Amino acid sequence: MCAAIKAKVLQAKNTVVLARWLLGKVLAVVDADGQVRRVRICETEAYHGASDVACHASKGRTARTEVMFAEGGVWYVYLCYGVHEMLNLVTGPSDQPSAILIRGVEGVVGPGRVTRALGIDRRFNGRPADEATGLWIEDDGFVVPRRAITATPRIGVAYAGPEWAAKPWRFFYRPIISAGPLADDSR
């Protein structure tokens, strides 16, 4: 049985720890036909606060980053290179901008591919991560063994300089058997 994770659980003082914890959780979205699609999160990347030079909020508040300064538990969805929608979960307390990029789910690797495959776009930007908005995270009790998790530097952040580019804040696991998306909404 899947249980939606409440926003309070998705707020963290340590976004890096939360990014690791999200591995194996279920991303649920209501598709255009009204059906719930569920996929297991298998890759995340943490962006921890305004001092993290790789974090969009390091440049301060802008129209684009304002949502990152909200209380955690809302979505930050932005357009990258004018092509790819990127799905991030805002995690910090109010006025402490941090977020986790959802980089991969079982069967789909790459943050732009994830959003395309699931029909996620900027209409979710700023909305709470809960069932009422059509995009949320669930916990079905599955736990990724710690030894199965790999931590590496984040991807595509060389612009942040050697210190921030080298932070091992990208987490992933490779499922032994990938059955693709989880069962339909009969859960």
The confidence score (pLDDT) of residue 114 equals 96
Helix, strand, coil % over all residues of the chain, rounded to 5: 25, 30, 45
Which pLDDT value is given to residue 60?
Answer: 80
Local structure of 161: helix, strand or coil = coil
Q: What are the mean pLDDT values of the chain's consecutive 10-residue runs (187 residues total)?
A: 83 90 97 94 93 80 85 91 87 91 95 95 95 96 95 94 95 69 41
Q: Residue 55 class from Cβ within 10 Å (0-12 exposed, 13-18 middle, 19+ buried)?
A: buried
Cα Rg for the chain, rounded, in angstroms?
15
pLDDT reported for residue 23: 98
H helices of 75-160, in order, are 111-118
**Domain residue ranges in the chain:** 3-172
Task: Please report, for residues 30, 85, 119, 122, 179, the alpha-carbon distance to residue 33 in angstroms, rounded to integers and kept in the order given.
Answer: 8, 21, 11, 19, 22
- Residue 177: predicted pLDDT: 46
CATH of domain 3-172: 3.10.300.10
Q: How far apart are CA 22 and CA 44, in angstroms?
A: 8
